[in-house]
Structure 1
Amino acid sequence: MTRKLLLGVCGSSSAQNTPALIDEAARRGWETTVVATPAAERFLPPLPVPVPVHTDQDWHTSARPLHLALPENSDAVLIAPATATALAHCAAGTGQTLLTAIVLGCERVHFWPSMNIRMWNAPAVRRNVAQLQADGHTILNPDATDTLSDPDHATGVGPVPGTALRQLHASLAAVNRAFHRAWDPLPDAYDVPSPDHRPGGHTLQPDAPPRNVLALAGGAGSGKTTLAESVAAARPSTAILHLDRFFHTRADRAPMVPNLIGSGLVIDFSDPRSIDWDRVHQAIEATPDDQLLLVEGTFALQKQIRRLARWTVYLDTPDDLRLARKTLRKIDEGADPRISLLGYLERGRASHGEHVAPIQQRADLVLDGTLPAQELTARLISHAAFKSDWSTVPA
């Protein structure tokens, strides 16, 4: 499902990263429309054709003013980079450019600040940030400057445009969860229905309250198991449930596909229906209510787990890195690496795009899978979305 992103670009050298940001957005299912401020035009490089770009010059050239029409046709508004000047105008509600007029009429805009640390820490900028947050807007990556010691170093978009989108996704998911309202871009098709339960089958009730379950999902080779073990090392009372130990073993209970390097049929482990959800639910019920249970697996954010989880996390790792890890793992195990390569080409890539990557929108927290496990663990435990409940779970 394609979602529409309205991307505001301000006058910062970070605007040079806009093409990469647009490419990353497309990879994640966003169709981008750009609105550039007058100051941004001198920094903005050529953009991928057919991305529409609007400036103040065509503000009133359509039948309906663009500051009304553009946000009405968008699922989210992201301003990246957002300069100190843009933050000031938006906080004051001046509406003097097309972009600031768009912000004036939107209930929720996501800002990615880009400026040097001295400016970011200036009292005026802090007041403007506080005002925008009080008005219901979101400041993405607000603590980026904490790790930078060079006062002339710019924070914000920088060389990692995907981070802005990951935080945008997490922010929208948090809004949906917090207010139980309808911003949810995923059709039900991304969730695989639970199979019909056989007589004597076991399942938790649909209205079961959230437990002390942390669901950790991500593509194959994203680093889920490594992160789960790192969290358990930091909190020794944590129990880990590995979903890849709960696959069906009988052919009549799982989807079957042709064997890629042999004859006959094999279970399609890239399909969520290959998981024996009855056994998974039994294992969850057997865990003491006051113990933290970390459920990790490619399909850990399917509704069978997500509706029971108190915290949901997605580990976002580039496809090439995941495939390299899987291939090296097969080699280390003495197995034929063609299994990973052919599996990825024939089924894994399509399954990831259908069942795994889109469902990150339903995660409370999206983490960058290229970071070290220790850093990811620290971010996970300290993340604001977990703090209010985390203290009640034994360490």
Structure 2
Amino acid sequence: MGQKQSSGSSRQIREANLRAVLHRMWDSEPVTGSDLMASTGLTRATVHGVCEDLIRWGWIHEVENQRQHGDYRMGRPARRYAFRPLAGVVVGADCGQHKVRAAVADLRGHVLARRDHAFSGLGHSAEERLEVLGRTVGEALRAASVDSACVLTVTVGVPAPVDSDGRTVGTFNEFWERMNPDIAKRLTELHGWTVLADNDANLAALAEGWQGAGRGVRNYVTLLSDEAIGAGIVEEGHLLRGARGAAGELRFLDLVEGVGSASGIAPLCRDWAREAVHDRDAWPRTSLRELAEDDIDAEAVFAAANHGDPLATDVVERIGARFTRIISTVAGFLDTERFVLAGALSGSCTKILDIIERDLPRYAHPPLPTVLASRLGDEVVLLGAIRRALDHVREQALEIVLPPTGPDTVGLHTAGGGAAVGPAAGPQ
């Protein structure tokens, strides 16, 4: 019994050492053994032994020491190691209502290629959804000249609640279930990839924490608002998902006075402006009347408001008032530090932010949360999907069997399945 405990303890220690060294190197420039000793507290022998294992498994490689001109120091130069960002790749995909956007990224999140395709219409089938998604990912891989076997993880964002198994079930919501027809399982069966599905607002929140307005903030809410509003909630640095992945769904807004629905900025702008242009008594002069009705969309309304158009200004004022109530309501039960308005229209939200700043003190108790617009635009879900895929690879690194050659050594794509994930490639 004692021997088994000792063996298990030894394996745990070895695994901890491997993770410590790999995670230290993942985000750094080439390092020496002494650098790793200083940052991890491990002995020289342990550091070099761990590095030999990580080299053998393909996560890192040894780099040459290049002496500078005039450097005449004697002795053998210190060994230097570097992480291999192209030991494999991850794929992020934003599978929305209207189209799929996919990007291939290296293991530090640098995007290598993007592709997108539209669906045939809002009523497209689950089969079309899966086919277009798979085709878009495949085209992105070919554009990056990456072998399909080098894909370590694919993350797909969908406009629906997603549980821990990647499914949308038991919602009694036909739209949600059509948006996520068990994408993770079926895409894995079709292509052999490790696939994660997640809610698009949750992924937007991850993106804001990684590259956006949530960086360095422990508590914030990302309001993803294009066609509908969804919230990605970060509490003490952790994403809140709920028991069935439905945390952040805002259907309760149907019951909030002055709000009445979870409609997003795009349909509010579009519908209110199209309705108002027909009322010539209320709005005798508006530049929006010069447009065809189908051309009156959110971008047109914001542009007109920026030029002082009275009808467009009124629409933006109404949207600002609605979002003030939404933010004050959510802030009342979450007590968060910051709200981030995210989505394709986030760059046009300056006037909405001004209205929220002006009116929020009427509804919310101090200290008031700050409210910012995302700088990530319509790529916020895509970036969040990449971040989620990277996090998964880092967490599972010692269980992932890397392909024999990564895209840093093979620049040609061939047919093939995903990277194998099986018995621990790390400590045995």
Bigger CA radius of gyration: 2
The two structures have a TM-score, normalised by structure 1, of 0.25
> Which structure exhibits the higher relative contact order, with contacts defined as CA atoms closer than 8 Å and separated by 6 or more residues?
2
